Chain A
């Protein structure tokens, strides 16, 4: 076990602290609310000489990710941070980073996408780039934001896949919480030294990177990338195991909260999962067999594992903090249903799209969801897709 230190930090401070302790070679970033502080605080560490990082201030998020790609291709340990429109502007380069298999780590503070313009939390930004080939890890609170950042760098470098770690905008990014930090020395030991197999600045072993890949090679490279994303599940679990051995804090692909003997359960990601735990506790006290599943890793999607965890339930409610605009349901719900279908499990799955643009999600809202779930479990008709907390 390592020494730890109890501190009060906001989510943004927690992510910046993790970056300081990782001490990457390069950070290239452009500020955007509510993620500005992550790189602003980190820039102050650079100015104060607390890290050895080359900080590259750029003129846009597209440039930020481009610079990160250059740095990572050259062989540098590379990190950045952004949110919402910034992530959207990066989208083109996110695919390139992933396709070139560059282990960049990005701190994304979840924020709604325009239009209408809004600075508050929902998951539309992260969901917009869910197909880009990045591992996506959601954090419930400041502690998880910090822990996930430390694990992300090892996941990225082992799997050769870039990783995005998200927190919920303002709720976590600007909310101060009690958390445990590792010592600088322990983080250094945990993340280790980055030794890329191939990199542009290696004069002993020259390479070409990003060559034109037409009909004869593109498919093979993509197939390879798909396999790497599949295999990254194991990498994520291995890193989590090592992290748990050192800190006592366990992580998996998803968290199961009071799922033993549960008959109904809510599936929710990010900070809402924490609020849902309060409701689950209250329901359990009343004798309701309620549980919660909190997906931590959305990409790769833990399909088989989740289907197994859901198999014994009577009914499930999937809470989506964004919508797919597919004219049926939210992105998490789509994935859950596909997982259940392939498992041959037919189950009542309710979908609740909630919290768009930072709309408050209260205990009563989640109580309402559990109420509907209990009705659905008894076979009462309940709307399959609901928009929770919207004015009708």
Chain B
């Protein structure tokens, strides 16, 4: 993930009053993907699309299209492994791999 450019933070006169953040869905702007040390990899041939991982993911990082799991939002996935832990498929439809190894592989 590329480092975010540091924007100048607002002074006290510009901030909304009372520790408010105006607007909805602002958590999307807060990228937590770089906290990850283990990365979930979807094994499509094993996945039964029960969506258990989607329900359990604390960061809404399981991407679902037309009722099917298609992958993970690595900008927000913290690598907690709850999806892997909860996956009911025998032998698991998710593989947790080292982030370091996954990154090295991507670069090749």
Contact = CB atoms under 8 A, between A and B. Distances in A.
Q: Do chains A and B touch in the complex (CB under 8 A)?
A: yes
Interface of A: 99-102, 160, 198, 205-211, 213, 216-217, 219-221, 223-224, 227-228
Nearest to A220: B12
A99 B18 contact: yes
B17 A224 contact: yes
Contacts of B10: 220
B22 A207 contact: yes
Contacts of B9: 216-217, 220
8 contacts: A100-B18, A100-B19, A101-B17, A101-B19, A198-B20, A221-B18, A224-B15, A228-B17
Contact of B15 (A99, A206, A210, A220): A220
Nearest to B14: A220
Contacts of A211: 19, 21
Given A216-B9, A227-B12, A221 B24 contact: no
B22 A205 contact: yes
Contact of B19 (A206, A216, A221): A221
Contacts of A213: 19
Nearest to A100: B18
Contacts of A100: 18-19
Nearest to B9: A216
B23 interface: yes
Nearest to A226: B12
Interface string B31-69: 000000000000000000000000000000000000000
Contacts of B11: 220
A198 B24 contact: no
B23 A160 contact: no
B16 interface: yes
Given A216-B9, A220-B12, A227-B12, A209 B23 contact: no
B26 interface: yes
Interface residues of B, number: 17
A130 to B, nearest CB: 21
A160 B21 contact: no
Given A198-B20, A216-B9, 11 more contacts: A99-B19, A198-B22, A206-B24, A207-B22, A208-B26, A211-B19, A213-B19, A220-B12, A224-B15, A227-B12, A228-B17
A233 to B, nearest CB: 17
Interface in B52-102: none
Residue from B9, B17, B18, B23 having most chain A Cβ neighbours under 10 A: B18
A99 B21 CA distance: 14
A173 B102 CA distance: 71
B15 to A, nearest CB: 6
A221 B23 CA distance: 18
A101 to B, nearest CB: 3
Contacts of B20: 198, 207-209
A209 B24 contact: no
B17 A223 contact: no
Contacts of A223: 12
A98 to B, nearest CB: 9
A175 B69 CA distance: 71
B107 to A, nearest CB: 32
Contacts of A228: 17
A224 B23 contact: no
Contacts of A221: 12, 15, 18-19
Contact of B21 (A102, A208, A224, A227): A208
B19 A160 contact: no
Contacts of A208: 20-21, 26
A70 to B, nearest CB: 14
A198 B19 contact: no
Contacts of B17: 101, 160, 224, 228
A160 to B, nearest CB: 6
Contacts of A209: 18-21
